[in-house]
Chains A and B, each alone.
Chain A
Amino acid sequence: MDDRKMDDRPLTGRRDPAGEVLEAMRAAGCEPADPGAITFDGRLHRYDVAGDRKGRKNGWFALHDGIVPHGAFGSWKTGVEESWRGREAATLTPEQRRRERERIEADRAERLAEQRRRQARAAGRAAALWDRARPAADDHPYLVRKRVPAIGLRQSGNLLVVPVRGGDGALRSLEFLAPDGGKKFMREGAVEGGHHRLGEFGGARAILVCEGYATGASLHRACGLPVAVAFSAGNLFPVAGDLQRRYPGATLVIAGDDDRHAEGNPGRRHAEETARWVNGAAIFPDFAGLDTASRPTDFNDLQALGGMGHLRRQLEARLAAVLPVEDARPARPDRPVAEMAEMAEMAAPEMGAPARRREARDGDGDGGRPDRYREVTERIIELIEAGTAPWQRPWDRARHPGAPVFPVNAATGKTYRGVNVLLLGADPRTSDDPRWCGYEQARARGWQVRAGATGTTIYFFKRPETPEAGADDAGLTDGDGRDGDWRNEDRRDEDRRDGDGRPPRGRAPFLCRHTVFHASQIEGIPSLEEAYGPADALPAHAWEAEDRLERILRRGGAWIVHGGDRAYYDPNEDVIALPPRERFPDAAAYFGVAFHELGHWTGHETRLNRPFAKRRDAPEYAREELRAELASAFLGAELGVRHDLERHATYLDRYLGLLRGDSREIFRASRDAQAIADLILDRHPSWQLRDGVCARRTEPLAEISETSEVAGETATAERTPEAAPPIETGERGETAAAAPPAPYRWALAALADPDPGDGPRDGLFRRIDAAWPLAEVARAPDAAPDAADRSPDRPDPRAPVAAYLHYPYHPS
């Protein structure tokens, strides 16, 4: 008997293969609603799983006939995927088995190849559809019903379109969400491992992974953390596994569905298994106390039933329980009651509605287009809550003394400005090497961004430009189809502004994302030593030496009074009050406080002219504090001045309230903080900012007498005319010459600017007391608690009006 005959002989005992595969499908929980759908033709088929809504077609199979029928089946909903083969294998000869294995392998390879071809074609169709779809509006019925905004979605007809991207960002497929809640994926598109990202993943210390878009949007809005939408329970692990490889420093939190009404609770099972495999954590919604008649399962359901506040609180507790301490939002149980009330008041208008929808109502956004201001603000809030904002971490890492501290463009040498300083400065890598670079910039210089490197998003504005002369008609009309005034132009828009300096219509600027890469992600980039010289051959850049810090403090020309136990800047008097330096534990603590107050000092109307609040509960007060905080971080980095993180943390909630209330505030604050730092750093004896680049000073600063006042405990306040600031007009010396003597100016200021809570006479007393604490003690020893017992966050009823009181010094 030859082999062929032997191999092709009919097999005895062969039963019904369709029945066998149906049995296997039933055991796996994906039995087809119509058993007649089973066919052994080797092609991929989709089918309705018994129990699912008709038309969902979550099930699939590809089955081959042969000596031993075999194939695979599964469910995209539950993530089940099983290989299957008939039962006759035991009756085969060894040669038949070998040939059968080869055949199965060949079939599998062919199936995979065909699947890849189909997926590639699907990716093409997906990209075309995606290109043509328009940004989704928040008022789409699905989003309204789910109470979430459109984040990174588009709309095609009445369908919402969710991109399914691989870990590399490439578009693989699309998910379509119908107004009635129906969901469909693009036919033949690849979904396994694909996900949709909400938020920034670069540098994230925690990433949430969930099943559906609405769940992801609710989670992202509630906690601000980046979220990967995996689309199904079965896809949780492929997505989480990919994220684990790409973001090894991030804790993965699987925010699972609690499918307790479904057999086997597939949502919980997959989430918990995934968490175990990626060494992460699984969290689930708790519907206790809510009406569960609708059989809720996910975090979006929790938001729908309990509101955003309920979701936010529950999520905060869940995350605090599973994240490492530094990743969880810091709990501050000792937060003073007054501060809590103030925070609640500031943040109250923000609660309960997604930001973009709120902006649409307020007319500050269109509800469909991206709000980059909000996006940046949310990133900063994330940093603050994670404790990784630039001003929340110490600047004591060793660094190259010749390199700038501020983030700098490696290609141009220019320092980044404004909010980009915050965004890049928040990355710890900036402390080691401040250089960043765009992809094209790197490529143009022969450098290469490493494969797989994840960039960091910053923000630039761009302007549409006009084409050169000779451009033909095609497409060169304005938005209304008219020939624009930009045809046959050879001029840049800067040359054609109107009398108010505005560009021509249709040439308004756009705020765009821009991806940059850190120097450590770029191959071929010169080393820090090559760029800035050998580290050991350079003079010290930071001002470690106390005398140098002392000199810059005095070179600014600020009037500094030593005495009392409080540090503050009084804008009325334009004076900085500091406790005597011997009452600080060390010089670093003294200079940390002094430079913070110097930051406030720059806001005087004769310098940077920032508004100062009359009351400490006024928004202007928190705004000014935020600016001084940011400037302290910038200055601390540049000068090597210690930044007291513990004290600064007490203000965090005020900042959060400010930022949540105004998405542009962080931009203004960054701009102002940069101006503060620039103004003070301009007095650096050996370095200066030149065209945005920190460079060695070529001409020495004019020498200024450094014989400033030194006062003891009795707080005498004298100043030297030589210390007049040579920075701005309206110098102190000129002002002093025209103003009445100091005691009268105090009195006039107090009378003109009384505290609403009491009369002008009280204000005058407070002002005197502030500068002469002995008089305060003698006059009213029991009138107020001792300063050492007073929280810095509780208003001091005797505080000088409009003075910026920050750091009551607590003698140790």
Chain B
Amino acid sequence: MNAVNDPNNDPNNDPDNDLDDETRAPLAPLAALVTAIDEADLLNVELPLEMPGLLEDFLDPEVQAALPAALRPAADAYLRSLPGHRAGNIARARGQHRLRLDVWNGEAMPIREEDIEELGLEEAPEDG
């Protein structure tokens, strides 16, 4: 059993994982994609694309073109889950993909709705 298929490593199932619902929700589509990548066993075959940057640059056409056929359905499903992608709003899709990666990587910190006003936080521009 690989790491992602292991229920203990699934962010949705891991009882030790302290991510709350607010954090888990945006991760669900990405977790499905990572699971598919893991199942495709891309790590142990020579690919035209190196794993570093695969998720980072997942929306890039070159990466999409290089994906193996086995991964295509999962990749398409993930792209459809990205707001803005179908409408051709790439900046919006990139922004949401970036946010999911930040949550996945533990870089993004969930905050309270009240914090925005109380702390004078700025909203990210859509075009990065």
Assess whether B70 is interfacial by the CB under 8 Å rule: no
| A464 near B25: Cβ-Cβ < 8 Å | yes
Cβ contact within 8 Å between B78 and A475: yes
Q: Is A507 an interface residue (CB 8 A)?
A: yes
**Of listed B11, B38, B81, B85, residue having the most chain A CB within 10 A:** B81
Q: Could you tell me how many residues of chain B have their Cβ less than 8 Å away from some Cβ of chain A?
A: 75
The listed residue (B42, B53, B107, B119) touching A667 by CB distance below 8 A is B119
Chain A contacts for B71, CB-based, 8 A: none
A123-B52, A132-B3 given as contacts; is B111 within 8 A of A511 (CB)? yes
B80 touches A409 (CB 8 A): no
**What are the residues of chain A within 8 A of B62 when measuring CB–CB?**
none
Report Cα–Cα, A416/B53, bound state, in Å. Answer: 30
Select the stretch in A209-217, A465-473, A645-653 that faces chain B.
A465-473
Convert B5-32 into 0s and 1s, putting 1 for each residue whose CB lies closer than 8 angstroms to a CB of A: 0000101101001110111111111111
* Interface 1/0 per residue, B26-47 and A, CB below 8 Å: 1111111110001000110000
Contact A464 B99 (CB under 8 A): yes
With a cutoff of 8 Å between Cβ atoms, the chain B residues found around residue A171 in the complex are: 52
B1 proximal to A (CB < 8 A): no
Judge if A78 is at the interface, Cβ distance under 8 Å.
Answer: no
Residue on A with the closest CB to B96? A465
Question: Contacting B113 at CB < 8 Å: which of A418, A474, A503?
Answer: A503
> Is B66 in contact with chain A by the CB < 8 A criterion?
no
Check: B61 CB closer than 8 A to any chain A CB. Answer: no
Which residues of chain B (55-105) have a CB below 8 Å from chain A? 55, 73-74, 77-78, 80-87, 91-92, 94-96, 99-100, 102-105
- Verify A514–B124 contact, CB threshold 8 A: yes
* Stretch in contact with the other chain, from A42-50, A60-68, A285-293, A436-444: A436-444
Residues of B within 8 A of A412 (CB): 125
By the criterion CB–CB under 8 Å, are B24 and A479 in contact? yes
Taking a contact as CB atoms under 8 Å apart, the answer to whether B106 and A512 are in contact is no
Q: Is A664 an interface residue (CB 8 A)?
A: yes
Docked-complex contact A444 and B91, CB < 8 angstroms:
yes
Q: Check B82 against A467 for contact (C-beta < 8 Å).
A: yes
B25 near A461 with CB under 8 A, answer: no
A418, B17: Cβ atoms closer than 8 Å = no
Of the 9-residue stretches A83-91, A362-370, A571-579, which lies at the interface with chain B?
A: A362-370
Expressed in whole angstroms, the Cα–Cα distance for A503 and B84 within the complex equals 19
Check A461/B123 contact, CB under 8 A, given A505-B21, A508-B113: yes
Q: Please, how many angstroms separate the alpha-carbon atoms of A439 and B11 in the complex? A: 31
Q: Contact at B32–A474, with CB atoms within 8 Å?
A: yes
A510 CB-CB contact with B under 8 Å: yes
Least CB distance from B109 to A in Å reads 5
| Residues in A whose Cβ lies below 8 Å from that of B103 | 510
**Bound Cα distance from A484 to B29, whole angstroms:** 12
Are B125 and A464 touching (Cβ within 8 A)?
Answer: no
A671 contacts the other chain (Cβ, under 8 Å)? yes
A664 and B119 contacting across the interface, CB-CB below 8 Å: yes
In the bound complex, do residue A418 and residue B25 qualify as a contact, i.e. CB atoms below 8 Å apart?
Answer: no
Complex interface bits, A494-515 against B, C-beta within 8 A gives 1, otherwise 0: 0000000111011111111110
Contacts of B29 in A (CB 8 A): 474-476
Which residue in A131, A505, A510 is a CB contact (below 8 Å) of B102?
A510
Q: Are A123 and B50 in contact (CB under 8 A)?
A: yes
Closest-CB distance, A469 to chain B (whole angstroms)? 8
Q: Decide if B110 is an interface residue (CB 8 Å cutoff).
A: yes
Judging by beta carbons under 8 Å apart, are B120 and A478 in contact? no
Q: Which residue of chain B lies nearest to A120 when distances are taken between CB atoms in the complex? A: B50
The contact of B106 among A154, A466, A477, A503, by CB within 8 Å, is A154
When distances are taken between beta carbons in the complex, the residues of chain A under 8 Å from B108 are: 370, 462, 510-512
A170 within 8 A of B: yes
A440 near B25 with CB under 8 A, answer no
User: A171, A369, A476, A505: which has the most chain B beta carbons within 10 Å?
Assistant: A369
**A460–B122 CB distance below 8 A:** yes
Bound Cα distance from A132 to B11, whole angstroms = 10
Decide: A417 and B113 in contact? CB cutoff 8 A. no
Q: Are A511 and B121 in contact (CB under 8 A)?
A: yes
Give chain A nearest CB distance to B4 CB in angstroms: 6
**Max chain B C-beta neighbours (<10 A), residue from A132, A480, A513:** A132
Are A507 and B25 within 8 A (Cβ)?
yes
Known: A134-B11, A511-B109. A170 touches B22 (CB 8 A): no
A residues 768-802 in Cβ contact with B at 8 Å: none
Report whether B86 and A470 are in contact in the complex, using a CB–CB cutoff of 8 Å: yes
Q: Does B128 sit at the interface, judged by CB under 8 A?
A: yes
B50 adjacent to A505 (CB under 8 Å):
no
Contact B111 A419 (CB under 8 A): no
Contact with B along A448-471 (1 / 0, CB 8 A): 000000000001111111111011
In the assembly, what is the distance between CA of A765 and CA of B5, in Å? 77
Contact A441 B55 (CB under 8 A): no
Instruction: Please tell me if A726 contacts chain B, counting CB pairs below 8 Å.
Output: no
In angstroms, Cα B89 to Cα A468, docked, is: 11
B124 and A418 form a contact (CB under 8 A): no
Instruction: Give the distance to chain A from B66, nearest Cβ to Cβ, in Å.
Output: 14
Q: A462 to chain B: which residues have CB within 8 Å?
A: 95, 99, 102, 108, 123-124
Check if B17 sits within 8 Å of A512, measured CB to CB.
no
Does A420 reach chain B (CB closer than 8 Å)?
yes
Contact of B111 among A132, A411, A416, A510 (CB under 8 A): A510
Q: Is A427 an interface residue when CB atoms closer than 8 A count as contact?
A: no
Please, which residues of chain B bring their CB within 8 A of the CB of A484?
Answer: 25
Query: Once the chains are docked, how many angstroms separate the CA of A668 from the CA of B121?
Result: 9
CB-based contact A125/B113 at 8 Å: no
Q: How far is the CB of A363 from chain B (nearest CB, A)?
A: 13
Q: Say yes or no: A461-B116 contact (C-beta < 8 A), given A366-B18, A475-B81, A479-B21.
A: yes
Which of chain A's residues has its CB closest to B101's CB? Answer: A131
- Bound together, the chains give a CA A124 to CA B67 distance in angstroms of 16
Within 8 A of B (CB), among A120-152: 120, 123-128, 131-132, 134-135, 137
Are A124 and B43 within 8 A (Cβ)? yes
- Enumerate chain A residues within 8 angstroms of B120, measured Cβ to Cβ: 417-419, 667-668, 670-671, 674
Q: A127-B51, A462-B108 are in contact. Are A508 and B22 (CB under 8 A)?
A: yes
Contact of A460 among B4, B30, B34, B123 (CB under 8 A): B123
A132 touches B116 (CB 8 A): no
CB distance from B55 to the nearest CB of A (A): 6
A selection of 11 A-B contacts at a CB cut-off of 8 Å is A131-B105, A132-B9, A134-B14, A373-B109, A478-B24, A479-B12, A480-B12, A505-B25, A507-B22, A508-B22, A511-B108
